[in-house]
Structure 1
Amino acid sequence: MKRDASVREVMDREFVGVSEGDDLRETAELMLAEGVDSAVVLRGADPVGVVTERDALAALVGADGETPTAAEAMTDAVPTVSPEMTVAEAADELSAGSTQRALVSEGGEPLGMLTERDLLTASPFARTAADPAATDRERAVAGVTAGRGESASEPAADRGGESRFEDQSLCEACGSLSRELSTFNGQLLCPDCRDI
Protein backbone atom coordinates (compact mmCIF):
# COMPACT_ATOMS: atom_id res chain seq x y z
CA MET A 1 0.00 0.00 0.00
CA LYS A 2 1.22 3.51 -0.67
CA ARG A 3 2.95 5.28 2.18
CA ASP A 4 0.38 8.08 2.48
CA ALA A 5 -2.67 5.77 2.66
CA SER A 6 -5.46 7.15 4.80
CA VAL A 7 -7.11 5.54 7.80
CA ARG A 8 -10.34 5.38 5.77
CA GLU A 9 -8.60 3.03 3.31
CA VAL A 10 -7.42 0.52 5.91
CA MET A 11 -9.96 0.67 8.77
CA ASP A 12 -12.57 -1.97 9.49
CA ARG A 13 -15.92 -0.32 8.83
CA GLU A 14 -17.77 -2.72 11.09
CA PHE A 15 -17.54 -2.74 14.86
CA VAL A 16 -19.54 -4.17 17.74
CA GLY A 17 -21.39 -1.56 19.77
CA VAL A 18 -23.05 -2.19 23.14
CA SER A 19 -24.91 -0.03 25.64
CA GLU A 20 -23.49 0.95 29.02
CA GLY A 21 -26.06 -1.13 30.87
CA ASP A 22 -25.61 -4.30 28.81
CA ASP A 23 -24.76 -7.42 30.75
CA LEU A 24 -21.03 -8.15 30.44
CA ARG A 25 -21.55 -11.89 29.84
CA GLU A 26 -23.85 -11.08 26.92
CA THR A 27 -21.30 -8.54 25.66
CA ALA A 28 -18.55 -11.18 25.82
CA GLU A 29 -20.78 -13.70 24.02
CA LEU A 30 -21.49 -11.12 21.30
CA MET A 31 -17.77 -10.41 20.90
CA LEU A 32 -17.10 -14.15 20.55
CA ALA A 33 -19.94 -14.61 18.06
CA GLU A 34 -18.72 -11.68 15.95
CA GLY A 35 -15.07 -12.73 16.18
CA VAL A 36 -13.85 -9.38 17.55
CA ASP A 37 -11.58 -8.56 20.46
CA SER A 38 -13.36 -5.39 21.58
CA ALA A 39 -16.74 -3.67 21.73
CA VAL A 40 -17.44 0.05 21.70
CA VAL A 41 -19.64 1.12 24.62
CA LEU A 42 -22.21 3.67 23.47
CA ARG A 43 -24.41 6.15 25.32
CA GLY A 44 -27.03 6.68 22.67
CA ALA A 45 -24.88 7.20 19.58
CA ASP A 46 -21.91 8.62 21.50
CA PRO A 47 -18.93 6.34 22.26
CA VAL A 48 -18.01 6.48 25.96
CA GLY A 49 -15.64 3.54 26.32
CA VAL A 50 -14.25 0.30 24.98
CA VAL A 51 -14.54 -3.21 26.44
CA THR A 52 -11.67 -5.46 25.38
CA GLU A 53 -11.34 -9.20 25.88
CA ARG A 54 -8.94 -8.47 28.74
CA ASP A 55 -11.38 -5.99 30.37
CA ALA A 56 -14.22 -8.51 30.18
CA LEU A 57 -12.13 -11.36 31.55
CA ALA A 58 -10.82 -9.27 34.46
CA ALA A 59 -14.30 -8.02 35.37
CA LEU A 60 -15.92 -11.46 35.12
CA VAL A 61 -13.19 -13.16 37.17
CA GLY A 62 -13.42 -10.44 39.83
CA ALA A 63 -17.24 -10.45 39.97
CA ASP A 64 -18.71 -11.48 43.35
CA GLY A 65 -22.18 -12.60 42.32
CA GLU A 66 -23.98 -10.25 39.99
CA THR A 67 -22.63 -9.98 36.47
CA PRO A 68 -21.07 -6.56 35.87
CA THR A 69 -22.30 -4.26 33.12
CA ALA A 70 -20.31 -3.18 30.09
CA ALA A 71 -19.84 0.26 31.72
CA GLU A 72 -18.30 -1.31 34.84
CA ALA A 73 -15.75 -3.23 32.75
CA MET A 74 -14.94 -0.69 30.04
CA THR A 75 -11.89 1.46 29.63
CA ASP A 76 -13.23 5.02 29.82
CA ALA A 77 -10.89 6.68 27.39
CA VAL A 78 -11.85 6.01 23.80
CA PRO A 79 -8.85 6.67 21.61
CA THR A 80 -10.14 8.16 18.36
CA VAL A 81 -8.57 8.96 15.02
CA SER A 82 -9.85 10.78 11.98
CA PRO A 83 -10.54 8.82 8.78
CA GLU A 84 -8.47 11.42 6.90
CA MET A 85 -5.29 10.79 8.94
CA THR A 86 -2.47 8.99 7.20
CA VAL A 87 -1.53 5.51 8.34
CA ALA A 88 1.73 6.91 9.75
CA GLU A 89 -0.12 9.56 11.78
CA ALA A 90 -2.56 6.97 13.13
CA ALA A 91 0.32 4.66 14.07
CA ASP A 92 1.85 7.55 16.04
CA GLU A 93 -1.47 8.14 17.84
CA LEU A 94 -1.83 4.48 18.82
CA SER A 95 1.79 4.33 19.92
CA ALA A 96 1.51 7.52 22.00
CA GLY A 97 -1.64 6.23 23.67
CA SER A 98 -0.20 2.73 24.25
CA THR A 99 -3.30 1.17 22.75
CA GLN A 100 -3.90 -1.55 20.18
CA ARG A 101 -7.06 -0.06 18.70
CA ALA A 102 -8.79 3.24 18.07
CA LEU A 103 -12.27 4.27 17.11
CA VAL A 104 -12.44 6.02 13.76
CA SER A 105 -14.89 8.89 14.01
CA GLU A 106 -15.85 11.95 12.04
CA GLY A 107 -17.80 14.76 13.64
CA GLY A 108 -18.41 12.59 16.72
CA GLU A 109 -19.99 9.83 14.65
CA PRO A 110 -18.27 6.42 14.88
CA LEU A 111 -17.32 5.06 11.44
CA GLY A 112 -15.28 1.97 12.31
CA MET A 113 -12.28 0.58 14.17
CA LEU A 114 -8.58 0.77 13.42
CA THR A 115 -6.32 -1.88 14.93
CA GLU A 116 -2.60 -2.53 15.02
CA ARG A 117 -3.23 -5.33 12.54
CA ASP A 118 -4.77 -2.87 10.08
CA LEU A 119 -1.71 -0.65 10.43
CA LEU A 120 0.72 -3.54 10.01
CA THR A 121 -1.09 -4.70 6.88
CA ALA A 122 -0.86 -1.21 5.40
CA SER A 123 2.69 -0.57 6.54
CA PRO A 124 5.11 0.49 3.83
CA PHE A 125 7.57 -1.80 5.58
CA ALA A 126 5.34 -4.89 5.26
CA ARG A 127 7.06 -7.76 3.53
CA THR A 128 6.38 -8.24 -0.13
CA ALA A 129 5.62 -11.58 -1.73
CA ALA A 130 9.03 -11.64 -3.41
CA ASP A 131 10.76 -11.26 -0.04
CA PRO A 132 12.23 -14.63 0.96
CA ALA A 133 11.27 -13.91 4.58
CA ALA A 134 7.59 -13.38 3.69
CA THR A 135 5.17 -15.84 5.26
CA ASP A 136 2.83 -18.08 3.25
CA ARG A 137 -0.07 -15.84 4.28
CA GLU A 138 1.73 -12.75 2.98
CA ARG A 139 2.42 -14.52 -0.30
CA ALA A 140 -1.20 -15.63 -0.57
CA VAL A 141 -2.36 -12.05 -0.05
CA ALA A 142 -0.03 -10.92 -2.79
CA GLY A 143 -1.24 -13.72 -5.09
CA VAL A 144 2.13 -15.39 -5.33
CA THR A 145 2.88 -19.08 -4.97
CA ALA A 146 4.73 -19.86 -1.75
CA GLY A 147 8.46 -19.75 -2.36
CA ARG A 148 8.21 -19.96 -6.16
CA GLY A 149 7.51 -16.37 -7.25
CA GLU A 150 4.82 -17.52 -9.72
CA SER A 151 1.45 -15.93 -10.17
CA ALA A 152 -1.32 -17.72 -8.29
CA SER A 153 -3.42 -17.65 -11.46
CA GLU A 154 -0.79 -19.47 -13.51
CA PRO A 155 -2.24 -22.81 -14.67
CA ALA A 156 -0.67 -26.02 -13.37
CA ALA A 157 0.04 -27.11 -16.96
CA ASP A 158 2.45 -24.19 -17.32
CA ARG A 159 4.49 -25.61 -14.45
CA GLY A 160 5.34 -28.84 -16.18
CA GLY A 161 2.00 -30.53 -15.40
CA GLU A 162 2.71 -30.66 -11.68
CA SER A 163 -0.41 -30.96 -9.58
CA ARG A 164 0.29 -28.68 -6.64
CA PHE A 165 -1.81 -27.02 -4.04
CA GLU A 166 0.85 -24.50 -3.03
CA ASP A 167 -0.99 -21.64 -4.70
CA GLN A 168 -4.20 -22.25 -2.74
CA SER A 169 -5.16 -21.21 0.74
CA LEU A 170 -8.20 -21.32 2.98
CA CYS A 171 -10.80 -18.58 3.05
CA GLU A 172 -10.99 -17.30 6.64
CA ALA A 173 -14.78 -16.95 6.46
CA CYS A 174 -16.04 -20.16 4.83
CA GLY A 175 -12.93 -22.38 4.99
CA SER A 176 -12.94 -23.29 1.30
CA LEU A 177 -9.75 -23.64 -0.74
CA SER A 178 -9.27 -20.84 -3.23
CA ARG A 179 -6.59 -19.45 -5.53
CA GLU A 180 -8.26 -16.04 -5.57
CA LEU A 181 -7.98 -14.89 -1.96
CA SER A 182 -7.70 -11.22 -1.16
CA THR A 183 -7.73 -9.17 2.02
CA PHE A 184 -11.06 -7.62 2.98
CA ASN A 185 -11.64 -6.08 6.43
CA GLY A 186 -8.55 -7.78 7.77
CA GLN A 187 -9.39 -11.29 6.56
CA LEU A 188 -8.30 -13.40 3.60
CA LEU A 189 -11.55 -14.03 1.72
CA CYS A 190 -12.56 -15.93 -1.40
CA PRO A 191 -14.59 -14.11 -4.11
CA ASP A 192 -17.88 -15.57 -2.81
CA CYS A 193 -17.36 -14.31 0.75
CA ARG A 194 -16.20 -10.86 -0.42
CA ASP A 195 -19.47 -10.44 -2.33
CA ILE A 196 -21.66 -11.07 0.72
Structure 2
Amino acid sequence: MERDVSVQEVMDREFVGVSESDDLRETAELMLDEAVDSVVVLRGSDPVGVVTERDALETFVRSDGDAPRVQDAMTESVPTVSPETTIAEAADEMSANSTQRVLISEGAEPLGVLSEHDLMTASPFAQTANGPDVPGGERQVAGVSAGRGEAAAEPGGEGRFTDQSLCEACGSLARDLSPFNGQLLCADCRDI
Protein backbone atom coordinates (compact mmCIF):
# COMPACT_ATOMS: atom_id res chain seq x y z
CA MET A 1 0.00 0.00 0.00
CA GLU A 2 1.35 3.44 -0.89
CA ARG A 3 2.07 5.75 2.00
CA ASP A 4 -0.05 8.92 1.96
CA VAL A 5 2.34 11.83 2.33
CA SER A 6 0.75 15.03 3.60
CA VAL A 7 1.68 18.48 2.33
CA GLN A 8 2.98 19.48 5.77
CA GLU A 9 5.82 16.98 5.27
CA VAL A 10 7.07 18.63 2.07
CA MET A 11 5.81 22.24 2.12
CA ASP A 12 8.09 25.23 2.39
CA ARG A 13 7.40 26.71 5.82
CA GLU A 14 9.30 29.87 4.97
CA PHE A 15 7.47 32.28 2.69
CA VAL A 16 7.67 35.99 1.99
CA GLY A 17 4.58 38.06 2.73
CA VAL A 18 3.80 41.50 1.35
CA SER A 19 0.90 43.94 1.43
CA GLU A 20 -1.37 44.89 -1.48
CA SER A 21 -0.25 48.52 -1.27
CA ASP A 22 3.49 47.75 -1.36
CA ASP A 23 5.54 49.09 -4.26
CA LEU A 24 5.99 46.35 -6.86
CA ARG A 25 9.59 47.34 -7.61
CA GLU A 26 10.51 47.00 -3.92
CA THR A 27 8.67 43.68 -3.83
CA ALA A 28 10.62 42.45 -6.86
CA GLU A 29 13.86 43.49 -5.16
CA LEU A 30 12.75 41.60 -2.04
CA MET A 31 12.05 38.51 -4.15
CA LEU A 32 15.56 38.73 -5.59
CA ASP A 33 17.15 39.29 -2.16
CA GLU A 34 15.26 36.36 -0.63
CA ALA A 35 15.76 34.14 -3.73
CA VAL A 36 12.05 33.30 -4.03
CA ASP A 37 9.91 33.04 -7.14
CA SER A 38 6.69 34.21 -5.48
CA VAL A 39 5.34 36.16 -2.52
CA VAL A 40 2.10 35.77 -0.60
CA VAL A 41 -0.03 38.92 -0.49
CA LEU A 42 -1.50 39.44 2.98
CA ARG A 43 -4.25 41.72 4.22
CA GLY A 44 -3.39 41.79 7.89
CA SER A 45 -2.65 38.11 8.44
CA ASP A 46 -5.18 36.88 5.86
CA PRO A 47 -3.76 35.68 2.53
CA VAL A 48 -5.53 37.42 -0.37
CA GLY A 49 -3.28 36.68 -3.33
CA VAL A 50 0.09 35.76 -4.73
CA VAL A 51 2.62 37.54 -6.95
CA THR A 52 5.02 35.47 -9.03
CA GLU A 53 8.12 36.57 -10.93
CA ARG A 54 6.10 36.34 -14.14
CA ASP A 55 3.27 38.47 -12.69
CA ALA A 56 5.76 41.19 -11.71
CA LEU A 57 7.54 41.10 -15.07
CA GLU A 58 4.27 41.29 -17.00
CA THR A 59 3.09 44.24 -14.90
CA PHE A 60 6.38 46.11 -15.42
CA VAL A 61 6.22 45.57 -19.18
CA ARG A 62 2.58 46.72 -19.41
CA SER A 63 2.85 49.65 -16.99
CA ASP A 64 2.70 53.10 -18.54
CA GLY A 65 5.38 54.70 -16.39
CA ASP A 66 3.37 54.72 -13.15
CA ALA A 67 4.88 53.03 -10.13
CA PRO A 68 2.88 49.78 -9.99
CA ARG A 69 1.68 48.36 -6.70
CA VAL A 70 1.50 44.72 -5.62
CA GLN A 71 -2.28 44.79 -6.10
CA ASP A 72 -1.72 45.57 -9.81
CA ALA A 73 0.23 42.34 -10.31
CA MET A 74 -1.26 39.86 -7.86
CA THR A 75 -3.38 36.86 -8.68
CA GLU A 76 -6.30 37.12 -6.29
CA SER A 77 -7.46 33.54 -6.08
CA VAL A 78 -4.96 31.49 -4.13
CA PRO A 79 -5.85 27.81 -3.86
CA THR A 80 -5.57 26.86 -0.20
CA VAL A 81 -5.35 23.43 1.39
CA SER A 82 -5.01 22.17 4.95
CA PRO A 83 -1.76 20.66 6.29
CA GLU A 84 -3.32 17.18 6.31
CA THR A 85 -4.02 17.24 2.55
CA THR A 86 -2.10 14.56 0.68
CA ILE A 87 0.35 15.58 -2.03
CA ALA A 88 -1.87 13.83 -4.59
CA GLU A 89 -4.84 15.99 -3.52
CA ALA A 90 -2.65 19.12 -3.64
CA ALA A 91 -1.51 18.21 -7.16
CA ASP A 92 -5.17 17.84 -8.17
CA GLU A 93 -5.90 21.27 -6.65
CA MET A 94 -3.04 22.85 -8.61
CA SER A 95 -4.21 21.22 -11.81
CA ALA A 96 -7.84 22.23 -11.30
CA ASN A 97 -6.82 25.86 -10.67
CA SER A 98 -4.06 25.99 -13.34
CA THR A 99 -1.52 27.20 -10.80
CA GLN A 100 2.01 26.24 -9.80
CA ARG A 101 1.56 26.61 -6.06
CA VAL A 102 -0.97 26.27 -3.25
CA LEU A 103 -1.03 27.96 0.13
CA ILE A 104 -1.11 25.73 3.18
CA SER A 105 -3.19 27.18 5.98
CA GLU A 106 -4.96 26.18 9.13
CA GLY A 107 -8.04 28.34 9.37
CA ALA A 108 -7.00 31.84 8.31
CA GLU A 109 -3.37 31.38 9.38
CA PRO A 110 -0.94 30.70 6.51
CA LEU A 111 1.59 28.00 7.40
CA GLY A 112 3.56 27.63 4.19
CA VAL A 113 3.56 27.24 0.42
CA LEU A 114 3.70 24.09 -1.69
CA SER A 115 5.05 24.48 -5.22
CA GLU A 116 5.20 22.17 -8.21
CA HIS A 117 8.90 21.78 -7.45
CA ASP A 118 8.06 20.56 -3.94
CA LEU A 119 5.67 18.02 -5.46
CA MET A 120 8.29 16.78 -7.90
CA THR A 121 10.87 16.23 -5.15
CA ALA A 122 8.29 14.32 -3.10
CA SER A 123 6.81 12.37 -5.99
CA PRO A 124 4.93 9.26 -4.85
CA PHE A 125 6.00 7.71 -8.14
CA ALA A 126 9.62 7.39 -6.97
CA GLN A 127 11.15 3.90 -6.99
CA THR A 128 10.80 1.78 -3.89
CA ALA A 129 13.63 1.77 -1.38
CA ASN A 130 14.65 -1.81 -2.28
CA GLY A 131 13.71 -1.78 -5.95
CA PRO A 132 10.46 -1.83 -7.92
CA ASP A 133 9.30 -5.32 -6.86
CA VAL A 134 9.37 -5.04 -3.08
CA PRO A 135 6.77 -7.29 -1.42
CA GLY A 136 4.04 -5.19 0.11
CA GLY A 137 4.43 -2.52 -2.55
CA GLU A 138 5.79 0.17 -0.20
CA ARG A 139 7.39 3.00 -2.14
CA GLN A 140 9.90 5.46 -0.78
CA VAL A 141 9.02 9.11 -1.33
CA ALA A 142 12.00 11.09 -2.56
CA GLY A 143 13.19 13.53 0.09
CA VAL A 144 10.95 12.09 2.81
CA SER A 145 12.22 9.43 5.16
CA ALA A 146 10.00 6.34 5.25
CA GLY A 147 10.53 6.21 9.02
CA ARG A 148 9.92 9.90 9.70
CA GLY A 149 8.77 10.37 13.25
CA GLU A 150 10.07 6.97 14.37
CA ALA A 151 13.39 6.57 16.15
CA ALA A 152 15.87 4.11 14.70
CA ALA A 153 15.41 0.61 16.15
CA GLU A 154 19.11 -0.27 16.30
CA PRO A 155 21.02 -0.01 19.60
CA GLY A 156 22.19 3.53 20.33
CA GLY A 157 19.81 4.90 17.69
CA GLU A 158 17.20 6.21 20.07
CA GLY A 159 16.21 9.78 19.25
CA ARG A 160 17.88 9.54 15.81
CA PHE A 161 16.10 9.11 12.49
CA THR A 162 16.98 6.70 9.72
CA ASP A 163 17.21 7.34 5.99
CA GLN A 164 17.86 10.63 4.31
CA SER A 165 15.37 13.45 4.77
CA LEU A 166 15.04 17.23 4.80
CA CYS A 167 16.16 19.37 7.73
CA GLU A 168 13.15 21.43 8.80
CA ALA A 169 15.29 24.51 9.48
CA CYS A 170 17.61 24.80 6.49
CA GLY A 171 15.96 22.39 4.04
CA SER A 172 19.13 20.47 3.27
CA LEU A 173 19.15 16.71 2.78
CA ALA A 174 20.76 14.95 5.73
CA ARG A 175 21.08 11.44 7.14
CA ASP A 176 21.63 12.55 10.73
CA LEU A 177 18.34 14.27 11.63
CA SER A 178 17.45 14.47 15.30
CA PRO A 179 14.46 15.99 17.06
CA PHE A 180 15.23 19.39 18.58
CA ASN A 181 12.59 21.88 19.83
CA GLY A 182 9.84 20.05 17.95
CA GLN A 183 11.68 19.95 14.60
CA LEU A 184 13.86 17.42 12.81
CA LEU A 185 17.22 19.18 12.44
CA CYS A 186 20.59 18.35 10.88
CA ALA A 187 23.78 18.55 12.94
CA ASP A 188 24.60 22.06 11.65
CA CYS A 189 21.22 23.50 12.65
CA ARG A 190 21.29 21.81 16.08
CA ASP A 191 24.64 23.50 16.75
CA ILE A 192 23.27 27.01 16.17
TM-score, normalised relative to structure 1: 0.67
What 5-or-longer segments of structure 1 have no aligned partner?
132-140, 143-180
What 5-or-longer segments of structure 2 have no aligned partner?
132-142, 145-163, 175-185
Name the SS for the 1:117 alignment partner: helix
1:20 aligned residue: 20
Name the SS for the 1:31 alignment partner: helix
How far is 1:98 from its partner? 1.2
Separation in 1, partners of 2:165, 2:3: 20
2:41 equivalent to 1:47: no
How far is 1:120 from its partner? 1.4
Would you say the 8 A contact 1:20–1:70 is kept in 2?
Answer: yes
Q: How does 1:21-36 map to 2 (within 5 A)?
A: 21-36=21-36
Deviates more, 1:70-79 or 1:117-126: 117-126
Would you say the 8 A contact 1:3–1:123 is kept in 2?
Answer: no
Q: How does 1:1-196 map to 2 (within 5 A)?
A: 3-127=3-127, 183-184=166-167, 187-188=171-172, 191=186, 194-195=189-190
Would you say the 8 A contact 1:120–1:126 is kept in 2?
Answer: no
- Which residue identity lines up with residue 110 of structure 2 in the other structure? P
Q: Compared with structure 1, are the counterparts of its residues 193 and 95 closer, same or farther at alpha carbon in structure 2 (3 Å cutoff)? A: farther
Would you say the 8 A contact 1:41–1:51 is kept in 2?
Answer: yes
The count of aligned residue pairs is: 150
Q: Compared with structure 1, are the counterparts of its residues 184 and 56 closer, same or farther at alpha carbon in structure 2 (3 Å cutoff)? A: farther
Separation in 1, partners of 2:17, 2:59: 18
Separation in 1, partners of 2:36, 2:16: 8
- Which residue identity lines up with residue 101 of structure 1 in the other structure? R
CA displacement, residues 123-152 of structure 1 (integer Å, 9 cap, x when unaligned): 121257888xxxxxxxxx79xxxxxxxxxx
CA displacement, residues 66-112 of structure 1 (integer Å, 9 cap, x when unaligned): 22000111011111111011111111111111111011011111000
Q: Compared with structure 1, are the counterparts of its residues 125 and 189 closer, same or farther at alpha carbon in structure 2 (3 Å cutoff)? A: closer
Separation in 1, partners of 2:9, 2:172: 16
- Aligned-pair Cα RMSD in Å: 2.7
Name the SS for the 1:41 alignment partner: strand
More helix by share: 1
Separation in 1, partners of 2:44, 2:171: 30
Deviates more, 1:83-92 or 1:183-192: 183-192
Q: Compared with structure 1, are the counterparts of its residues 188 and 58 closer, same or farther at alpha carbon in structure 2 (3 Å cutoff)? A: same
- Which residue identity lines up with residue 49 of structure 1 in the other structure? G
